[in-house]
Amino acid sequence: MTRQLDEYFAHRRRAFDLPLDLRLAKSFRRGVLAHLLDIPYGITESYAQVAAATGSPRAVRAVGTACATNPVPIVVPCHRVVRSDGSLGGYACGPDAKQALLTLEAA
């Protein structure tokens, strides 16, 4: 995992190839985490878009909670989820870290 993280931060990796076991996440949260893995490098989606994609368009706050409790926030890229108005929204590692990851992916 360390090698893959190093490659990610050096712009040599866009996706992680690690075995992930999401079984501890319950149904909705697991669906959110699985969807986050499908958001491409350098692309963002709104919390509302993620809610709709997981079949619960009104569960915007629940998407935020699922992102906030993500146990592997870089590997499962919750930093790619922003507010509908384009502002950052929350991030478990703080707004500066979220902005830094989005900036890294935009480079």
Q: Which residues are catalytic?
A: 78
Whole-prediction pTM: 0.92
**Count of beta carbons in the 10 Å neighbourhood of residue 7:** 13
**Considering Cα of 36, then 83, then 27, then 69, what sign does the dihedral take?**
positive
Q: What's the pLDDT score for residue 88?
A: 95
Residue 12 lies in a domain: no
Query: What is the rounded distance in angstroms from the CA atom of residue 88 to the CA atom of residue 46?
Result: 9
**Is residue 51 domain-resident?**
yes
Which residues constitute the domain of residue 95?
22-106
pLDDT for the residue numbered 54: 95
Is the model's pLDDT at 26 over the cut of 90? Answer: no
pLDDT band for position 27 (cuts 50, 70, 90)? confident
Measured between alpha carbons, how far is 18 from 15 in angstroms, rounded to an integer? 9
Answer yes or no: is 8 within a domain: no
Number of domains in the chain: 1
Instruction: With respect to residue 27, please indicate whether it lies within any of the assigned structural domains.
Output: yes
Using the predicted structure, report yes or no on whether residue 23 has a pLDDT greater than 90: no
Residue 10 belongs to a domain: no
Question: How many CB atoms lie under 10 A from the CB of residue 20?
Answer: 13
Report if residue 9 sits inside a domain.
no
